Amino acid sequence: MSKIEFTNLQILRVAMGAWFFGWFIRFQYFKTYLFTFIERYPITFDFFPGFLQQGEVSMVVFFLPILIVPALQIPSQRRMIVASMTLLVTATISMLHLDTYNDATNVTCFWSAIWLLWFSVNCHRTDVAFRTQARFLVQLIVTVIFVGGFVGKITPAYLSGQAWFEMFMSKDSYFFGSVLRGLIDADPRLLSRYLSWGMIFAEGCMGLMILVPYRLGAICASVLMLLMLLMSNTVLILSVLGCLIGMMLSLLMWRDIDLEGDR
């Protein structure tokens, strides 16, 4: 095995490990939601096929990624392909199931799993074209997701700061909001408006990742996502962003390979 092929497997381990971590960081919440709430009060809606309404299905699917642990411990191309397919099936069913369809985690994990599967199938390649394609696809996924987030926030509630105020500034339990109110003597609603504008601007910047050199875009986007963790006051946001951060940073392991334009 060449050095590059070995590095490719390590990249997969990092990216897949981040996917795995982000998925199960919701364990405490889903343990209560799936095994208490859904079990006692099952949700039904005729639009969804019977298979996608059964609570047992969502429970089993949530734990399905545990099957990839052997691939993470002893990676090989074949194991990584099977593991990636497992993650893709997991995210797809969760994205379509009545109990879990509204969770943004499923969307980011779905696209990340597609990339992981593509990378796994091609991880034996050592040509520059493969490395360029891998980086471009990561940039494309991040760009599409955050352009959607940017457009989705161009609403009166976000532009006025009302949504931000209600989510992060109206309760003392939110650490970031409490600290800001203590440091800045300003109307909390006005402060919320500026912070909301800042979030919209940040998502817009991440939506431009495809236009900048890969290394710069990956580092800046990862820092902005970690700032979202601070501002949202919950580690659960890593269930949405963890797989994206893992993909972006894992490809920085190719630092010893000269790529045109550092893409």
Average pLDDT, the chain: 86
Residues 216 and 247 in one domain: yes
Domain boundary among 74, 104, 126: 126
pLDDT score at 258: 46
Domain end (from 126, 146, 175): 126
Residues 106 and 150 occupy one common structural domain: no
CA-to-CA distance for 97 and 56, rounded, in angstroms? 11
Locus of tokens 């009060």? 41
Residue type, 11: I
Do 141 and 35 share a domain, yes or no?
no
From CA 230, how far away is CA 244, in angstroms rounded? 17
Residues 173 and 110 reside in one and the same domain: no
Total residues belonging to the chain: 263
pLDDT in tens, 34-85: 888 887 888 888 888 888 888 889 999 999 999 999 999 999 999 999 999 9
Is 107 within the bounds of a domain? yes
Is 84 part of a structural domain of the chain?
Answer: yes
Shared domain for 263 and 140, answered yes or no, is yes
- Based on the domain organization, do 252 and 229 belong to the same domain? yes
- Domain assignment present for residue 29? The answer is yes
Tell me, yes or no, whether 155 and 122 share the same domain.
no
User: Does residue 94 form part of some domain?
Assistant: yes
Residues 6+ apart with CB under 8 A from 196: 153, 158, 159, 160, 161, 163, 164
Q: What's residue 198's pLDDT? A: 85
Residue 85, domain member (yes or no):
yes
Q: Is 131 a member of any domain?
A: no
Whether residue 197 is contained in a domain is answered as yes
Question: Does the pLDDT at position 149 exceed 70?
Answer: yes
Q: 240 and 179, same structural domain?
A: yes
Check pLDDT > 60 for residue 135.
Answer: yes
CA dihedral 22, 27, 30, 34 (to 10 degrees): 120
Domain boundary among 126, 150, 176: 126
DSSP sequence for the chain: --HHHHHHHHHHHHHHHHHHHHHHTTHHHHHHIIIIIIHHS----TTS-GGGT-HHHHHHHHHGGGGGHHHHHS--HHHHHHHHHHHHHHHHHHHHSTTTTT-HHHHHHHHHHHHHHHHHHHTT--SHHHHHHHHHHHHHHHHHHHHHHHHHT-SHHHHTTHHHIIIIIS-TT-HHHHHHHHH--S-HHHHHHHHHHHHHHHHHHHTTGGGS-HHHHHHHHHHHHHHHHHHHT-GGGHHHHHHHHHHHHHGGGGTTS--GGG-
pTM for the full model?
Answer: 0.87
Q: Examine the domain organization and report whether 88 and 174 are in the same domain.
A: no
Q: Are 84 and 116 in contact (CB under 8 A)?
A: yes
Domain that holds residue 121: 1-126
59 and 24 in one domain? yes
- Shared domain for 104 and 164, answered yes or no, is no
Percent of the chain scored above 90 by pLDDT?
53
Q: Considering the domain boundaries, does residue 231 fall inside one?
A: yes
pLDDT tens readout for residues 223-260: 998 888 777 767 888 899 999 999 999 999 886 554 44
Instruction: Indicate whether 92 and 156 sit together in one domain.
Output: no
Sign of CA dihedral 30, 150, 230, 252: positive
Better pLDDT: 75 or 180: 75
Q: How many domains does the chain have?
A: 2
The predicted-structure confidence for 107-120, as pLDDT tens digits, reads as follows 999 999 999 999 99
Chain CA centroid to CA 157, Å: 24
Residue 191 confidence (pLDDT) above 70: yes
